[in-house]
Amino acid sequence: MAETPLAGRHALITGGGTGIGAAAAGHLSAAGAKLSLLGRRIEPLQAVSELHGGAVIQCDVTDPSRVAAAFDEARAANGPIDLLVVNAGIAESAPFHKMTRESWDRIIATNLTAAFDCTRAAIGDLLKSDNGRLVLVASVASLRGVPYAAHYAASKHGLLGLMRSLAGEYAKTSLTVNAVCPGYVDTPMTDQSVARVSQITGRSEGDARSAITNMNASGRLVDPEAIGNVIAMLCLPLSRDINGAAVTIDGGTAA
């Protein structure tokens, strides 16, 4: 296989400044892709760009007009989009009877509706590319319910519905549509979950971290590099017959 099988291809990553998005940036760049990195905070995007190159584009994915403009800026920097990684996401938790409509709306807007807007903004390019790739960063919360995070689980279940529908709709084209479903990953999102659990339950941060870590059957957090590696693998030309897959990367919990 070529050392840089994605040479010349333009990969746009939402939430590309931290965690899984930053790891995906590294793996896609190592395979030769040109990067466009989107997020709300410029500093983490710049740090990733310093390591792997790429256009840094400030964008709140919950603002559809900003998404359209940001995707145009990405095209101006790197040409038509061949590979789209829909990764930006947020998590919150609350018992259902205390869950607010604002929190529900925030989670659905960021994790699900923005996936629609970003995919719509890139679909023309993705279908024109000779190896278009759409990868949605879903979750094991796409596959089962999550007590105290009904909104998060609903948003991530929705992503799989979107992924499977588009995989079928475009099966006869050169675009593939897949999802990765990580368990708990060692990223800032999990750090925030640890802090939240510790604050709500009064447990130490160490105890909260082990409780979360032990929700993965492996008893360890997933390395974000492992997710970045699978995302890049799904983007390879050789992966053209992987379509409609939800790839679980969780240390065995879903087994």
Q: Which is nearer to ligand NDP, 131 or 139 (CB)?
A: 139
170 is catalytic: no
How big is the CA angle at 105 (ends 102 and 108), to the nearest 5 degrees?
150
Which residues form the interface with ligand NDP (CB under 6 A)?
Answer: 14-15, 17-21, 39-41, 59-62, 87-91, 110, 137, 139, 182, 184-185, 187-190
CB of 57 to ligand NDP, least distance (A): 10
For residue 112, give the 3-state DSSP assignment: helix
Q: Using the minimum distance from each CB to ligand NDP, give the nearer residue, 59 or 234.
A: 59
**CA 209, 102, 104, 89: dihedral to nearest 10 degrees?**
-60
E strand map for 75-229:
83-86, 133-137, 176-182
Sign of the alpha-carbon dihedral angle for 125, 127, 128, 129 = positive
**Beta strand 55-58 with 10-14: parallel, antiparallel or unpaired?**
unpaired
| Closest distance to ligand NDP from the beta carbon of 61 (Å) | 4
**Shortest distance in whole angstroms from residue 174 CB to ligand NDP:** 26
For residue 123, how far is the Cα from the chain centroid? 17
Least separation, in Å, of the C-beta of 91 and ligand NDP?
Answer: 6
Which residues are designated catalytic? 152
